[in-house]
A and B are shown apart, each in its own frame.
Chain A
Amino acid sequence: MKFKIGIIAFIIAAFSFNACVDEFKVGDNFLEKEPGVDVTADTIFTQAEYARRFLWNTYSNLYYALPSYWNDVDGKMNMGMFETLSDCYHSHLSWDGVNRMYYSGSYSAGLEDSDSHTRFGYNKEEVWQAVRKAWLFIENVDRVPDMTTDEKERLKGEAKVIIASRYFDLFRHYGGLPLADHAWDVNETYENPRATVEETVNFMVNLLDEASATLPWTLDAADISNWDGRFTKAAAMGLKAKILLFAASPLFNDAVPYSIEGPQEAVQSNHVWYGGYKPELWDEVVEACEDFFREVDANGVYGLLQPATDNGLDVTKYDNVYRTAYRDAYSLRGSGGPNPEMLISTRIRYRAGNWDWNYYFPQSSMYGAFTPTQEFVDMFPMRDGSPFDWNDANKVSKIHTERDPRLYEIVLVNGAEYQGRQAELWVGGREAQQGPANEEGQFATGYANYKFVLDFSKNTAKPTLWPYLRVSEIYLIYAEALTKAGRYNEAIASVDAVRERVGLAGLAESNPGLNLQDEESLMNEILRERAIELGFEDVRFFDLIRNKMADRFTTQLHGLKTYRADGLEQSWSDKSASERGERPTEFTYTKFELQKPRRNFWVTGEFNPKWYLSAFPPSEVNKDYGLTQNPGW
């Protein structure tokens, strides 16, 4: 009897103690999902707040050019940037993708599959993710009950600009693309062949036109401090001009295709060009710019950020005023707020855990991943607007002191104000040390990058915006299109507007020896002006490829060794006042060929036009959904 009671008591105890808190369950109940916190599609599109967040997340896939984190998308070319493939910058960071694949000449199509640090991977830059999310948003937002129709239309417009901008990000590296015109359902076949350049451009432009119809011209004044960065009608119209310019350029719009190497299927199918020269494409660019300026005239808000005369700065020190204007123009928040010039700016999440983004980009700057070349510095005019000339001893003596104010905002040069003193970039100087002599590190070319990073201390307390599109670029796009259309004087005026903002005289006045009524000379001036106005803004590299400027890839680039005239290879500022004497102001300059490393194009002296566009990853081509490989790859 005692045993039986014991058994019964034991069984009761056993069934009740299971897992302490949960009840004992058998059968289906035991296998039920744990109560979860999961979000489903229904949750998202039944609440306005969730739907908006879905779109904000889509924004986070936008292009941001500066390297920021150790992942494929944000890390870019393993801390490098493809701008250093141009003639304005040279990378001295031996492990970045620029060095490993491009300078070495070892880039091949297969690397698009196996390496994450090619210049812009077809499926590694979150382009397709952004496109899908934007379509998902467009297709589902109408279900949201607590959102006004106006807001829905506006947000759809923003989503469309996201799609167009991401398409453009790929388009300028690859040409025509498969057109994703909806979010694929899980039950569909995902096959989608590559479209022609023309179809791809029309796809982007149509999206932007649709968006322009529903987007507000600018943000409400009250919203600017919180919502700058959202797409506006001005952004959509400006982006259209930028896309049309790229499409109308000789790379795609010429009598001959850029490459005659096999495979030629993409050429034959017009996937990498228009199939011939179409002058009317330039008219479309002109029209897009004029539409934009007409809207600006009608609605105001946007324009070049002009130097302030009432900001308390000493106007006689022109660089204070003009440099500030230029810096504000590329770095301040736009949407008609403090910076009328910013049309599209993108941002990244600024912190991951304790890691400030400001660690990564400054770090790669210090490693010498973005060292400006002498060729770049030579592009900047003197402060009066006249071109720099190595044959003019007077100008050479002012090489680092009397230049276009933008030089000092883009390139750190000898004598520039830096960390509370004047930078010593001479060999043995406090900053450069033996960097230029050994061609190593941050000052390997005798210069260092200044834009965005500044002196490593002034730009740390706030997010760094990426100036995806500024009004000054629209002026220069307009100038280029006008030139192609033969409207030279209007073109010059458009360039001069940009020069005037930094206090430079007009093109004609500054270049009396140049025939600016000649398309080629004028184009050269416009491209030079683009390189310096939009320096380090992802413009120069694309200018080279869209204009098929092969010779700029094979030209040996240079750095500059600056020596103190007294021959001392040592710092001045770290000595005590008694022993250092006067600050050195006399220097001698030695241009030197960049060697560490040499680019393969310099070594061989040959440039194959296939390099203008990237290769698609072979695995994608081989999936046989109609993706033709670019010629030569």
Chain B
Amino acid sequence: MTVIKHMKTKILALAMLCLLSIGSFAQSDLISGKVTDRWGEPVPGALISLVSNPEVRVSTDAYGNFAIGAAVGDQLAIVTRELETTRAEVVDQNDLEVVIDYASKPVNLGFGISQRMAESTGSVSTTSSEEINRSSALSLSNSLYGNALGLTSMQNGGAVWEDYADFSIRGLKTLSNNNVLVLVDGFERSIGTLSREEVESVSILKDAAAVALYGFRGINGVVSVTTKRGRYNSMDIDVSYDHAFTTPLRLPDFANGYTYASAYNEALENDGQPAKYNSYEMDAFQDGTAPFLYPNVDWVNETLKDKGYSNIYNVGIRGGGSKMRYYTLLNLEGNDGFIKDTETNDGYSTQMKYSKANIRTNLDVDLSEKTKAEVNLLGIIAEHNRPGRIHGTLMDNLYTLPSAAYPIKTYDGIWGGNETWTTTNPVAGVQNTGYARSHARSLFADVKLTQDLDLITDGLSGAFRIGYDNYAEFWEGKTRGYQYASDRLGFNNGIPVDTIRTAGGESSDLSFSRSLGTQNRHFNFAANLDYETSFTNSELFTSLIYSQERIVYNGQHNTYNRQNLAGYAHYTMHNKYIADLALVVSGSNRLAPNHKYGFSPTLSAAWVISNESFMQGVSAVDFLKLRASAGMINSDYIPAVNLWEQSYDGGSSYPFTDGFNSYGGIREGRLPTRDFKLERAFKYNLGLDAVLYRGLTITADGYFERRSNIFVPESGQNSAVLGASSAYVNAGIVDSRGIEIGIDYEKIKGDLSYFVGAKYTLTKNEIVEQLEAPRAYDYLKTTGQPVNQLFGLQAIGFFIDEAEIANSPVQQFSAVKPGDIKYKDQNEDGFINEFDVVPMGYNTAVPEAYFSFELGFEYKGLGFDALFQGAANYSALLNTKSVYRPLVDNTTISNHYYDNRWTPENVFAKYPRLTTESNDNNFRNNSIWIADASFLKLRTIELYYKVPKSVLENLRLKSAKLYVRGMDLFSIDGIDISDPEVIGVSYPTSKSINIGVAIGL
């Protein structure tokens, strides 16, 4: 059984347990043996069967021992409970040693096809449940930082319910769509709301051989999640609880009232305008004696606190009898946000709260000897709560409102507010505008039937699977308004003469509103026919797979129908030479008539060098495999619906009549694409998998990809005189290349075990062709540069005085003054303008280098582990309002900017002079604002204690673990004042200390 069908294995296991040792061949003897892992630890519950007669099967006991009726020379197949598989040949009757090692690990290609690592020809990395659960993230998507070789997973800002990581695999490869395909149990599903607990493993499918079977969707790589399933004749109950004490990571720090007023006056002076605050007012700000007239409100601290919390509860039951297996999970998660004083209203809270329940049942039922069924259901109920009026704008308000704007409340208890700063008073927004809620429901459901078709011919089997997923979101709000006012002094000759009150807004009762948010549904269908056979010294597995999916999102032109027909063959010779061929025809409703299908051939091969006879004496090398793949994968991405047709749509109407009436118009849309082609990737990969010294695992890949036929608009080449939107043509080409290296060392020695590991990926790309419009200078071209390369002006300091301005090239963006940024004249034409930008930094989305290292040890149940993850060749654009763009448009100023601003006394400053006017010269992409966003973060650090077996037995527990964890505790980077991954106005990212307990019953 070269390729073991995932489900089938489990079914076999069932049958085996019932018929624990059948000796059906007369000449066989009882062979005894032991299954151990690579450190010599026994592997209980592994299934051992005869390759020549799979119906002869036994399982190992708690000490890894087994006995099976076989003859010398027979091949045994071994499958563990974690679905690791291996082979062993019976050499004599006693003490057969079977080692489950790295090469035995399963590689899941989807569509029921699973291979052991030793036989896989594709580039696939797998992360286990154990690694994922070193994190305490609320979502699976946030638990993969640095965990999976080849997956670039970047943190996102935002509230907990929308804070899911961005994934990319092998960098930016195209100008169109770089999204990776995310699968849960083989179907395209979101993993944002999936809990870590229900996941068995996550595989990253990277090269052509790994993604071939997914047709159009797999072109950018695949993240494939496998959930847990039941086990025969056992029952394990896992209960766990995790509590997080969360703290915002790097809240913004804005100037106090006095500093703000000083900065504003300084900015006005710089602009040649009279001061806004007179000396009386400045004194009042400084001594703070009139807080209602001259306030100093730290809005961030008045609105946000530095403590929140999360809770995660899991109850999982995993087991089965002799004919059915089950895994069921109840997962509850909750998070309370960082908003202060949210309980001031009777009957409701305005906290940013999130709660979610996942209820999963995965069932495997053996309907008969040859017919197996599988039912998987996951229901998710999620809700969140937030303040009423300022949902979505709370953080923006905090990044806008100066400390000196107005007091929280006036002296007579009215909320502060005025006409200059029309943004909602954040404290009033939290306490006095009601609340809003969202309710979301998801259902992931699928059913699979597998039928053994031995009746037709030996080795034939078939299966089909149907799935239906649905997601819907409902919003409701109960909001109300509030009255506001503020007071200021009127002056005569610098002496206060009266108090002037401005007031506005109206206090109102709660009013109700509701709406339906996004909804979508997926229908999935897959069927396959598998045939496996063996010849002398070689084995062949073939599969014919048909699959289709229908995804319907809100709105018109949002239906995606796709289908694939795949022929797959996997050939193994002498256990050394392995070849795979995948021929896939994919169809999609997004594509032009007569071009609805694409054909993707992929060929890959591996050579297991360690199985060669000349390697048998090399004891250092336990396993060594070289692999190579080449394939052509198509995409059904189109930049606009029906782009091959000349479109016409309702254009502007023209008002001939003398009123507001007009006659409707029709207009021509974009010109149609001639010669429609599919975007296409040619993917090449060379890789190596090795295990040395029984513990050192090395995986290395190098790849090249040419993405061609990318749709780009022809407008870059067409004359404007054409007068129509130019067609898209398949002319774009992007080359990308890179390496991925993973090294792990793991050792168990008596009571001590430890591991260290490192992962590194580097990806580079270059736009080869994109029909770019001609540029005045070659260096302005984006062709030849990486996708999304930043461009900017080179700052060479700040102007010291008018004389320097007069003697420098004219900077044409806006009038410059001393303290404004001076730029390098790249083309030496005497003018600084848009022609003086040069490529600068990298891009702001996907870092070119992504790496991590981890270590851990355990001694007598006491353990420690830590994971660091970093990124390099990664840029940030510093343009956050108030933080890097202070004062302009009635914003405030950060202490960071204030301390680093240019003044005549501080000419070697970091940032330009203060101004109250929009300044096109300073605030545009340049070397000051394009910053290096490389970082190294401590993603997880954990100290745990596993209660020893002796104690557990008294407590009737199978296992118990107590831990203290730190999540994202620190980041080393050059940004310093905000999270390098989340720059801009955003709900703060958090760090946390978690305590938890996990008990096995």
Q: Which chain A residues have a beta carbon within 8 Å of chain B's beta carbons?
A: 3, 6-7, 10-11, 14, 17-19, 26-28, 30-34, 38-41, 43-44, 50, 52-54, 56-61, 94-95, 100, 104, 106, 108, 110-111, 113-114, 122-123, 127-133, 136, 178, 180, 183-184, 186-187, 190-192, 225-230, 333, 347-351, 462-463, 617-620, 622-625, 627
Contact = CB atoms under 8 A, between A and B. Distances in A.
B484 to A, nearest CB: 25
Contacts of B317: none
B563 A136 contact: no
A10 B449 contact: yes
Contact of B664 (A7, A53, A114, A129): A53
Contacts of B662: 349-350
Contacts of A349: 652-655, 662
B383 to A, nearest CB: 26
Contact of A32 (B466, B589, B812, B833): B589
A463 B723 contact: no
5 contacts: A3-B368, A38-B642, A106-B812, A132-B723, A228-B658
Nearest to A17: B468
A40 B550 contact: no
Contacts of A56: 653-654, 656, 663-665
A170 B831 CA distance: 28
Given A7-B367, A186-B672, A463 B727 contact: no
A128 B589 contact: no
B367 A350 contact: no
B654 A100 contact: no
Interface string B569-609: 00000000000000000011101010010000000000000
B587 A19 contact: no
Given A31-B588, A41-B648, A56-B665, 5 more contacts: A19-B552, A58-B667, A94-B917, A108-B833, A347-B655
Given A40-B646, A108-B831, A128-B721, A229 B775 contact: no
B493 interface: no
Contacts of B646: 40-41, 186
Nearest to A618: B776
B656 A228 contact: yes
B26 interface: no
Interface in B453-501: 466, 468
Interface string B538-574: 0000000000101010000101010100000000000
B648 A43 contact: yes
Nearest to B588: A31
A405 B812 CA distance: 43
A28 B721 CA distance: 40
B920 interface: yes
B509 interface: no
A33 B660 CA distance: 38
A232 B667 CA distance: 23
Interface string B916-960: 011010000000000000000000000000000000000000000
Contacts, number: 208
Given A31-B588, A54-B665, A128 B722 contact: yes
B815 interface: yes
B536 interface: no
Nearest to B548: A30
Nearest to B596: A31
A94 B652 CA distance: 31
Contacts of A114: 834
A192 B721 contact: yes
Contact of A54 (B525, B660, B666): B666
A139 to B, nearest CB: 12
Contact of A622 (B523, B655, B775): B775
B674 interface: yes
Contacts of A625: 719, 721
Given A26-B548, A108-B831, A110-B834, A184 B722 contact: yes
A347 B813 CA distance: 34
Contacts of B815: 104
9 shortest A-B CB distances, which residue pairs? A57-B665, A132-B723, A622-B774, A128-B723, A123-B720, A106-B812, A60-B652, A57-B651, A59-B654
A100 B721 contact: no
Interface of B: 367-368, 371, 447, 449, 466, 468, 521, 523, 525, 548, 550, 552, 557, 559, 561, 563, 587-589, 591, 593, 596, 642, 645-649, 651-660, 662-668, 671-672, 674, 717-724, 727, 773-776, 810, 812-815, 831, 833-835, 917-918, 920
A347 B774 contact: no
A462 B367 CA distance: 77
B776 A110 contact: yes
B773 A227 contact: no
B720 A128 contact: yes
A313 B4 CA distance: 100
Contact of A350 (B447, B557, B660): B660
A240 B674 CA distance: 40
A191 B653 contact: no
Contacts of B588: 31
Contact of A226 (B368, B656, B776): B656
A619 B917 contact: no
Contact of B561 (A30, A104, A348): A30
Given A44-B666, A462-B658, A106 B814 contact: yes
B647 to A, nearest CB: 7
B719 A178 contact: yes
Contacts of A26: 548, 563
Contact of A40 (B523, B648, B656): B648
B255 to A, nearest CB: 26
Nearest to A228: B656
A19 B724 contact: no
A350 B654 CA distance: 9
Nearest to B812: A106
Contacts of B720: 122-123, 128, 617, 620
Nearest to A124: B720
A110 B724 CA distance: 23
A604 B810 CA distance: 14
Contacts of A184: 722-724
Contacts of B727: 186
B366 to A, nearest CB: 10
A42 to B, nearest CB: 10
Nearest to A192: B721
Contacts of A28: 587, 596
B775 A186 contact: no
A610 to B, nearest CB: 15
A178 B645 CA distance: 28
Contacts of A136: 668
Contact of B722 (A31, A132, A618): A132
A94 B656 CA distance: 35
A209 B907 CA distance: 67
A30 B722 contact: no
A271 to B, nearest CB: 14
A58 B667 CA distance: 8
A41 B525 CA distance: 38
B659 A463 contact: yes
Contacts of A50: 666
B367 to A, nearest CB: 4
Contacts of A30: 548, 550, 561, 563, 587, 589
Contacts of A58: 665, 667
A227 to B, nearest CB: 5
A60 B727 CA distance: 23
Nearest to B920: A100
A226 B721 contact: no
Nearest to B724: A132
A245 B860 CA distance: 99
Nearest to A224: B658
Contacts of A627: 719
A31 B587 contact: yes
A627 B720 CA distance: 11
Contacts of B664: 53, 56
Contacts of B668: 132-133, 136
